[in-house]
Amino acid sequence: MVTPDQSQDVLKNLKAGRDISMGDVSVEMNSFPGPQEIIVAGVGEPPPNFAATWVCREAVQNELRHRIARDLVTEIVAVGGFGKSWLAAWAYAELATDFDKRLWVNFRRELWQAYGFDRFARWVLQEIGFPQKDPNAKEDLLLRELTYRLNDQNRPVKTLVVMDNVESLRQTNDWPWFEQFLQAWATQGQGSRILVTTRPDGVTVAPLKLGGLSLAEGTAFLQQEGLAGDRFAELIELADGHPLLLNLAAAWVRQTTGTTVNEQAIDFFRHLFEPYRGDAASLAEAKVELIFEQVFEALSATWQDLLLRVSVYRLPFDLAMAQAMEETVTAEDLQGLVARALLVAEEERFTLHALIAELVQERVSDVVRKEAHEQAIAYYQAHYQPWDGTIASCEENLEAFHHACELGQYAQANGILNRCVGLLDRAGYWRNLLPLYQTLTQHWQPVNDEETRNLGWAWTQLAGLYNNLGDSRLAIDTYQRAKALFASQGNRI
C-alpha cells in the first residue's frame, strides 16, 4: 500500500524527470518537454478513384449539391455497396472551387479502433492552419477549438470535411466525442461543411438515403463495364440497382458468358437470389455475398491467395506491399482485381471495399492469417524510415508493431516499438504512444525472466505517459504495477 507521503514523493520525481525510488526498487524515468508543434499524420487520404466506374446520377447529385449548400452537416446513408463513398468522392471533386480546403478521412475499422477523436481533431486543425501545440490538450478543449476554428471569421478557411464510413466509429470509446462534434457543428457552424457517409442508422434527423441505380443509370453502368445484350432491365431489377452487386455481376458475366447478359445469366441470378426476395435494402448485402462467392471461386489460386493476405493490411497498399505477400504479383493483376470490384484504387494504392473486406476476412484461415501478418512485419521492417521529427517517419515501425500484436507476439512488438519510442516520447507524441503501451500491458503474458523485466519497463513507460498527460494518480498506480513485476524478479533491473 502506498502512503500519501510516498505518493507525493513519486509524483515529484515523475514531474522532475528523476529516478523513481520506493523502497527497494529504483526505476529511471525520462521526462521530456513537449514539442513546439505536434505533426499529425496517417489520418487524411485521397478519396477513392470513382471516375472509372462512375455514371451520372443526376437526381441524386443535384440533391446532394443542394444539401451541401444548405446544410452544415450532410449525411449519406445506405447499407454497404450502394455507392456512398463514390457519391461523396464525386462531391469532393465537383465542389472543389466552392471551398478553400477539402479534407477526406476514411474511418477504416482496422485503424480507428486504435485512433480517436484527439487524432482526428488535431489533424483537421493542423490542415486548416491552426495546429494544436499542446500535447496535453484533451478532447473537450479540442472539440471547442475545432468548432471555433472552423467558424473563425478573422481567419476564415471555408472547409469541406468528408467523414467516410462513420459507422466504424460507433463501437469505439471516442464515438461520443465525434457525435458531439457533429451535433455542435450542425447547430453552430457557418461557412464550412461536413459530409458524412454511414450505414444505417444515421446521425442527422433527415439524411440523404441513397437507393439503387435507376434503369437508365444501371444500363449506362453495365454498358460502361463492357457488357451487351437485351436483358439489362431484368438484371438491374434482380440486383435492386445495387452498384456493387451490379459490378460483381458484371465480373461474373465476363468470367462466364463473355460480355453478354443473356438468358443463361438471368436464370443464374434469378436462381441465386430466389431466397432473398423482399426488402431490397436489407437483403442487398446478402446478395453481394452470394455473388462474391461466385466471383472469388472463379479467380486463380494466386489472386485468391493475394486477396486473403492483403486483407491484413490496415493501410492502403501499393504494388510493393502486394508483392511482399505474393512476389509474382504485377500491376496488371491488381488492376484485374479492381475490374472485378474486389479492390478499390486510390491513386497509386489499393484497398478492399469495406463490405468486400469483411467477406474476404471471413475466408482467411488461421495459418494464412499468421503468415500474412509475418509477411507484413517483414515488409515494414525492411522499409523503416529515418526520423524526421514527425510521427509519419515512424509509420513502418508502428504498423509492424500492430501486426506483431495481432499475432500475440508482444515481446516482438515491444522490441519493434523500442526502435522509435524514445524519439516519439521526446517529440511529445504521448497520446499516440498511450494506446500502444496500454495494449502491451493489458495483453502481454511474459514467459521468462527477460520478458517479465521488459513488461515491467513497459508499465514504467506507461506510467510516464500518464504523468506527461496530466494524470498523476493513474501514473502512480501504474508505476506500482511495474514495481510489483520488478520485485517478482528480485529487483534484477
What are the pLDDT digits (tens) for 228-256? 988 999 999 888 888 988 988 898 898 88
Residues 6+ apart with CB under 8 A from 352: 307, 310, 311, 342, 343, 344, 360
Half-sphere exposure of 491 (CA within 13 A, CB side): 7
pLDDT for the residue 277:
60
CB contact at 8 A, 233 and 215: yes
**What CA–CA distance (Å, rounded) separates 443 from 447?**
13
For strand 159-164 and strand 193-198, is the pairing parallel, antiparallel, or unpaired?
A: parallel
Label residue 487 by pLDDT band (50, 70, 90): confident
CB contact at 8 A, 50 and 197: no
pLDDT for the residue 280:
53
pLDDT for the residue 151:
80
CB contact at 8 A, 383 and 396: yes
Higher pLDDT, 145 or 280: 145
CB contact at 8 A, 399 and 384: no
Higher pLDDT, 273 or 45: 45
What whole-number percentage of the chain has pLDDT above 90?
Answer: 53
pLDDT for the residue 31:
43
Label residue 2 by pLDDT band (50, 70, 90): very low
Sign of the CA dihedral running 179, 181, 185, 191: negative
pLDDT for the residue 136:
82
**What CA–CA distance (Å, rounded) separates 193 from 162?**
9
pLDDT for the residue 471:
86
CB contact at 8 A, 49 and 8: no
What are the pLDDT digits (tens) for 390-449? 898 999 999 999 999 999 999 999 999 999 999 999 988 998 999 999 999 999 999 998
